[in-house]
Structure 1
Amino acid sequence: MIDDRLLPLEGLDNARDIGGLPLRDGGRTRHGVLLRTANPGPQFLTPRDVEFLVEDFGLRTVIDLRTPEEIEQHGRFVHDGVERLELTLIGSSRDALPEGVEITILDMYRGYLADHPQNVVTAVRTLAAPDAGPALVHCAAGKDRTGTVVALVLDAVGVERDAVVADYALSALHIEAMFKRWTTAAGVPMPDPATLDRHRPRAENMEKLLGWLDETHDGAVGWLRAHGLTADELERLRQRLTEPA
């Protein structure tokens, strides 16, 4: 169900289509509507990768969840006819931590939603727009910030909970390849196995985030509605991203 959504791009890691996921009430998510990836920066993409994204997939919108500093350091995907939105998710909750205090993954994910709720809503609203075309959402590795936003979207349109979690956890398979690409380009050694393992998404972290949303907002729909997404926008999102059985 999951592996056949991976995209075999030469210079872009952790890339997959959100299509084909089962819905709680029957049906599936649509293929060819939304991709999630690591940073599609120009330093790694091949001409064939760009052709696939723009011509084959028909990419019209890129939602970039990185910080301005990351964007300036690692570059942007820029192409005629493709709109870009830069919607950082990292903010004051991380800056306010006392020095030396470590946060949990759940704290980090809740921090994205607390620091920039309107950026999250803008990302989802963009996907639900009446004239929206095929879109790509990414951060640096496509696993944490991207994983949080995509999980909200999938839960909001009615994807089975196990499938939402499995889609998030699939990024763990790509950690070594991403670090190999980055360290080779930078001319530095690969991290040790323990460090790599700390970067792997684990299903229980997304289960905790979704459980927290259930407890505090009656799920992703409740959180999105509480922060300004309308019922009409949610319905358009479902229509764009899902198809009946």
Structure 2
Amino acid sequence: MRNDVTDLAQDTKAGSVAELRDLDWPACLNARDLGGLPTAVAGRVREQALIRSDRLSRLTDDGVEAVRRLRPSRIIDLRTSTQCEREPSPFAAADMYCHMPLSMPLDPPNRQARLIDRYRSKLDLYPHRFAQAVAAVADAPPGPVVVHCQAGKDRTGLVIALVLKAVGVPDDAVAVDYAVSSARLGAYYTAKRADIEDPELLELVRELHSARADTMACTLTYLRDEFGGVEPYLRRGGLVERQLEALQERLVVRSPPSSTKAHV
């Protein structure tokens, strides 16, 4: 699987994938606007409606100001309570801040070697947590919604994938967006692995640091096979029809129908 995002986009069965928009949020590594991604019914994701990022505690003062200029209506922080205490969000005291941890202290440890197996286990165990995170997007006041965790890859990757699929973004476009994190976090993760000498541990950590398009594509296939798709999965977790409709309303821009001239 290639890491070049442009080539991946050109290879998708859905056709061209809209340009993925990086955001200049110093010093976040993995912040981007999901606007422009295609939806199944002649539409696209609205610009400045859904943003994904790594932890906002990274931000410099200029970065904090850049986020404020966006005027988000909600910032959804998926990190654990311990992570939030260790590296507090600069927006934690604001009304727009919403802490929704996907992992709890008493959760059983997940030591599976493959990242995709960890994703499957988390989805199996906690549909209600994922549905609550998606509901937080659906129920947010009007305005941009920011979703982030620590690196903006795994927890954020799963929640964003569920949201995008709920509004009809094709699997391959979701997978391409997920794989963007590989390039954004590559140097950061390489530095974190620099002192690992044990070959088996290094292989495991390299796998957990990965963000391959096929990992997300297989995760979406698993949701279809096991739950009938993303919408049934989210309904199982407690998401209701009103919230699914709200996601469509806030995130999807419909393309105008093409007009043709009558021939006489």
* Alpha-carbon distance between aligned partners in 2 of 1:92 and 1:173, rounded to the nearest angstrom: 31
Counterpart position of 1:47: 61
**Does structure 1 residue 165 correspond to structure 2 residue 175?**
yes
Structure 1 residues 215, 71: CA separation in 2 closer, same or farther (over 3 Å shift)? Answer: same
Which residue identity lines up with residue 54 of structure 1 in the other structure? R
**Does structure 1 residue 18 correspond to structure 2 residue 28?**
no
Instruction: Specify the SS of the correspondent of 2:38.
Output: coil
Contact 2:25 2:64 in 1 (8 A): no
Instruction: Output aligned runs, 1:36-185, within 5 Å.
Output: 36-41=52-57, 44-55=58-69, 57-78=70-91, 81-91=94-104, 95=108, 102-129=112-139, 131-179=141-189
Which residue identity lines up with residue 133 of structure 2 in the other structure? A
* Alpha-carbon distance between aligned partners in 2 of 1:168 and 1:225, rounded to the nearest angstrom: 23
Contact 2:28 2:59 in 1 (8 A): yes
Structure label with greater radius of gyration: 2
Structure 1 residues 92, 174: CA separation in 2 closer, same or farther (over 3 Å shift)? Answer: same
Give the drift of 1:10: 1.9
Which residue identity lines up with residue 59 of structure 2 in the other structure? L
Give the drift of 1:230: 1.1
**Does structure 1 residue 203 correspond to structure 2 residue 210?**
no
Q: Deviations over 1:17-75 (max 9, x none)?
A: 1110011121100011111000010xx312221122112x1112111111111111222
**Does structure 1 residue 214 correspond to structure 2 residue 224?**
yes
* Alpha-carbon distance between aligned partners in 1 of 2:73 and 2:95, rounded to the nearest angstrom: 4
Instruction: Specify the SS of the correspondent of 2:48.
Output: coil
Identity %: 34
1:30 alignment partner, one of 41, 46, 50: 46
Instruction: Specify the SS of the correspondent of 1:168.
Output: helix
Give the drift of 1:106: 2.0
* Alpha-carbon distance between aligned partners in 1 of 2:98 and 2:107, rounded to the nearest angstrom: 23
Instruction: Specify the SS of the correspondent of 2:224.
Output: helix
* Alpha-carbon distance between aligned partners in 1 of 2:108 and 2:21, rounded to the nearest angstrom: 36
Structure 1 residues 78, 205: CA separation in 2 closer, same or farther (over 3 Å shift)? Answer: same
**Does structure 1 residue 237 correspond to structure 2 residue 247?**
yes
Instruction: Specify the SS of the correspondent of 2:27.
Output: coil
Contact 1:214 1:220 in 2 (8 A): yes
Which residue identity lines up with residue 35 of structure 1 in the other structure? I
Instruction: Output aligned runs, 1:187-198, within 5 Å.
Output: 197-198=206-207
* Alpha-carbon distance between aligned partners in 1 of 2:238 and 2:99, rounded to the nearest angstrom: 19
Structure 1 residues 48, 65: CA separation in 2 closer, same or farther (over 3 Å shift)? Answer: same
Give the drift of 1:76: 1.8
> Where in structure 2 are there 5+ consecutive unaligned residues?
1-16, 256-264
After superposing on structure 2, the runs of 4+ consecutive aligned residues of structure 1 that deviate more than 6 Å are 190-196
Contact 1:61 1:136 in 2 (8 A): yes
Q: TM-score, normalised by structure 2?
A: 0.79
